[in-house]
């Protein structure tokens, strides 16, 4: 019985994540989620005390899903760091292409919609981005240690720029229904980082 309960919870969270990559938080009606999963409203409120509580769990599930992807691709020490980063971007692009670019990044979608209106979700989303930035910063630091990046490259700033640009590229890919914005950003970022992106950051300031 306990196994069935946990299975039901997982179905709700996973399907909620799928819906929130394509539709807005405000547009996500609990009735639709329950209809598509075949779960009763009573069961939903047994697991989650509110829609916000449900969203927090969905974000946590999505964060764990990305952690596994980071470990598998960015943590592959057999592959040079910048090749790992390029592979991660290719994998992300292909994942979005499988859904005809209708889906985006759940964390990016919710950040854009709720970042200034829901302090609880905003705090969680910011924490997720910080964790993601640390993965990219670590890979870039490894590239720097191999002299694949300039000696004065600010890997933490580059990691923040990466996520700002990658999220923007996802948004544009959804708008155009095309992977070209993701390809353009991927090529730009690798060139930007390897050719001394730190210099340009200072110049803009």
CA trace torsion 52, 54, 58, 61 (10° rounding) = 120
pLDDT given at position 95: 92
How would CATH label the architecture of 61-204?
A: Orthogonal Bundle (1.10)
Distance CA 101, CA 92 (A): 11
- Confidence band (pLDDT; 50, 70, 90) for 196? low
pLDDT given at position 4: 47
What is the CB neighbour count within 10 angstroms for residue 161? Answer: 19
Give one word for 10, left, alpha or beta, with left for phi > 0 and alpha for psi -120 to 50.
Answer: alpha
What is the CB neighbour count within 10 angstroms for residue 1? Answer: 5
pLDDT given at position 205: 45
pLDDT given at position 198: 53
Q: Are the beta carbons of 106 and 59 closer than 8 angstroms?
A: yes
Contacts with 58 (C-beta within 8 Å, 6 or more apart), sequence order: 13, 16, 17, 20, 106
pLDDT given at position 21: 82
What is the CB neighbour count within 10 angstroms for residue 98? Answer: 8
Tokens of 139: 């890979």
* Average pLDDT, rounded, for the chain: 88
pLDDT given at position 2: 45
Please write the tens of the pLDDT for every residue from 138-169: 999 999 999 999 998 999 999 999 999 999 99
pLDDT value at 65 more than 60: yes
pLDDT given at position 37: 85
pLDDT given at position 50: 86
């Amino acid at each position: 019985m306990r196994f069935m309960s946990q299975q039901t919870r997982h179905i709700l969270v996973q399907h909620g994540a799928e819906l929130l990559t394509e539709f807005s938080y405000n547009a996500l009606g609990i009735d639709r989620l329950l209809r598509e999963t075949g779960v009763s409203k009573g069961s939903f409120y047994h697991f989650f005390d509110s829609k916000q509580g449900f969203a927090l769990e969905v974000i946590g599930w999505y964060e764990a899903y990305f952690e596994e992807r980071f470990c598998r691709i960015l943590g592959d020490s057999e592959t040079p760091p910048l090749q790992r980063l390029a592979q991660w971007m290719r994998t992300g692009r292909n994942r979005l292409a499988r859904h005809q670019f209708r889906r985006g990044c759940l964390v990016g979608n919710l950040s854009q919609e709720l970042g200034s209106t829901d302090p609880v979700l905003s705090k969680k989303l910011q924490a997720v981005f910080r964790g993601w930035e640390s993965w990219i910063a670590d890979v870039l630091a490894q590239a720097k240690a191999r002299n694949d990046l300039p000696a004065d490259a600010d890997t933490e700033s580059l990691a923040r720029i990466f996520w700002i640009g990658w999220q923007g590229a996802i948004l544009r890919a959804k708008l155009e229904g095309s992977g070209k914005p993701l390809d353009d950003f991927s090529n730009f970022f690798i060139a930007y980082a390897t050719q001394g992106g730190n210099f340009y950051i200072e110049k803009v300031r």
